[in-house]
Chain A
C-alpha cells in the first residue's frame, strides 16, 4: 500500500485514477465545501494532462446517479409533502411519483450531460476476469461491496484511488488523499517499531 499525501504532491500523473464516489458527488453538485475544494482542483489538473484518465465503471455510475437523484427527490418530497398528513413514504414517492416526473427527466439529463462533458478524460472499465468468490469476499467491518469492487478494479487497471475516507486504507493499491488523518495513520503504520 502507498498513500499519497496530495497536500504535498498535488500534481496528477499520466496514469489511471479512480475517484471515490464522495469525490465525484461534489463535482456533480452535492457540495461539501471546504473539503471538496481540494478534490475539485485535483480533478481540474487531471484534465490538463493528455494521458491521465479517470476510470468509471457501471457500478459506480449507478451509485452516483442514485445518490444524486435521491438527493434531488428529497428536496421535491419536502416541498410537496413536508408536514402534511397522509403523505406517502419517501420510497413510495420516489418510485411512483418522482421517477415518472419531468423533474426526474431533467435532473437525470443534467447529470448525464455533466458526465459527458468529462468524456475526454474518462474511460469506462469493468472487472473482466474476476471470479464470483473474489468479487463477493470482503471484510464488511472495513469496506462494503462497492468499495471492494473499486479496489479490485484499481488493482486490475493499476489505478490510483482518490478518496477522503478510510475505506481504502490498508490495501495493496495506491491511494491519494487530502485527508491528513488518513495519511498520518498510514505513516504511523509503517514506522519501525522500537
Chain B
C-alpha cells in the first residue's frame, strides 16, 4: 500500500507538527500489527521535510509499534530529492531508539 504525503497535506512542505500528525493518522488508519501489510510513505513532490514533521509522524509510529515493526513494514519512499532527508530521518530514529541513553544530554541541552 502506498500513502502519498502530498495528497494528505495538500502542500509541498512537510514542516509542521500537525502535518506529521495527519500523516501519522493516515498510516495508523491503514496499518495495524495484526494485518502486517507493508506501507510505503511516498514523498514525491514534497520539497521540504522538517525534523518536527518526522518526529510527529515516524517518531510517533516508533513509539506505537517499536523499532522492528516500523523497520519491517513502514518505509519512506521517493525522498532522495529532499535536502537532508536521510540525515534527519536517521537522527529521528537514533533519538527515539536511544531515548533513555540520551536523557542526560537532553537535559543538559534544555537546561
Contact = CB atoms under 8 A, between A and B. Distances in A.
Contact of A28 (B52, B83, B84, B105): B52
Nearest to B49: A117
Interface of A is mostly: helix
Size category of the A interface is: 20 to 34
Contact of B91 (A40, A41, A110, A118): A110
B73 to A, nearest CB: 24
A71 interface: yes
A41 to B, nearest CB: 6
Interface of B is mostly: helix
Interface in A48-89: 67-68, 70-72, 74-75, 78
Interface residues of B, number: 28
A27 interface: yes
B110 interface: yes
Interface of B: 13, 15-18, 48, 50-52, 55-56, 59, 83-84, 87-88, 91-92, 94-95, 98, 101-102, 105-106, 108-110
